[in-house]
Structure 1
Amino acid sequence: MNILIPISVLIIALAFVVLVIFLARTLKSLTVTLDNVAKTVDGLETQLNGVTSETAQLLHKTNKLAEDVQTKAASLNTVFSAVQDLGSSIHNVNESVRKVTEKITTGAERQSENISQAVQWGNVAINLWEKWKIKKAGVDSTQQTSQRRQYQ
């Protein structure tokens, strides 16, 4: 029995050495894995800082663009208001032209009878005047002929 105790202690010591070796390998492997994780986290942190910086710049540009759009939209509101006023003015001018045209047409229709009568009276007057001229010319030629006969 005396020999069993040292053999048992030797087996326990060997088992402990094997356990320590496997634990050392596992810890070494875990260290490598943790180093890789640390490098990956550092890379992600660098990338995240870059993305954050780009996002801040993009947000700043977006805000400037939004302000520019608001300014231009306000300018366009005055343009649209001016166009609306111009449309109203053109409508008023069209209404005025339509009313003037109606008045001229109505006046012309009313006066067309008077103008027709005036033209007819004018034609009668011209005909009378021409007849009077012809009669006068005939009387004058008759008088000239009779005066010539008297002198002969």
Structure 2
Amino acid sequence: MNGWLLASVIIVAIAVVVLIVCIVAVIVPFKNTATVLLAHADGIQKQMNGIQTQTTQLAATADKMNQDIEYKKESVQGVVQSLKNTGTVLNEINDSTQALTSKVIKKAADDPKRQAQVEQWTNTAMGFLNRKA
């Protein structure tokens, strides 16, 4: 029986060695493949970092552009509002001028001395206008 036991131990030992060789034969190529995959993953991660940096820069640039557009829009709105109010201001000036002119005409119509003054000032103003023209 010692012979059978010795043969069994030798067969088990050979089986263990064969098993270890098979495991090594599977693990070594897997290790190389895993190393290549990790290298590719690292390269992809570096590319993603670059893309993320560019995305952050683009977002910052877009924010600056939006702020600039908003500032310019507000500036233009101020000018537009001023232009809208110009008509009202001119109407007020026109009304005021007409009221003053009416007062002067009324006073001048009642007083011949004032009529002469109005005529003199009108002639003087027309003289200045004709010189500039």
Structure 1 position 102 matched with structure 2 position 81: yes
1:39 is matched by which residue type in structure 2?
V
Q: Name the residue aligned to 2:113.
A: none
Q: For the pair shown, which has the larger CA radius of gyration, 1 or 2?
A: 1
The two structures, once aligned, show a CA RMSD in angstroms of: 1.9
Q: Name the residue aligned to 1:44.
A: 23
Q: What's the CA shift string for 1:99-138, capped at 9, x where partnerless?
A: 11211122222223456799xxxxxxxxxxxxxxxxxxxx
Q: Name the residue aligned to 2:3.
A: 24
Separation in 2 of the partners of 1:90 and 1:70?
30
* Structure-2 change in CA distance of 1:93 and 1:28 (3 Å): same
Separation in 1 of the partners of 2:64 and 2:25?
58
Separation in 2 of the partners of 1:68 and 1:109?
62
Aligned match for 2:56, one of 77, 83, 104: 77
Quote the offset at 1:86 in angstroms.
Answer: 0.7
TM-score, normalised to structure 1, is 0.57
Separation in 2 of the partners of 1:80 and 1:116?
54
**Bigger relative contact order (CA 8 A; separation at least 6):** 2
Identity of aligned residues (%): 11
1:52 is matched by which residue type in structure 2?
K
Residues 50-129 of structure 1 correspond to what in structure 2 (within 5 A)?
Answer: 50-114=29-93
* Structure-2 change in CA distance of 1:54 and 1:115 (3 Å): farther
* Structure-2 change in CA distance of 1:116 and 1:36 (3 Å): farther
What 5-or-longer segments of structure 1 have no aligned partner? 1-21, 119-152
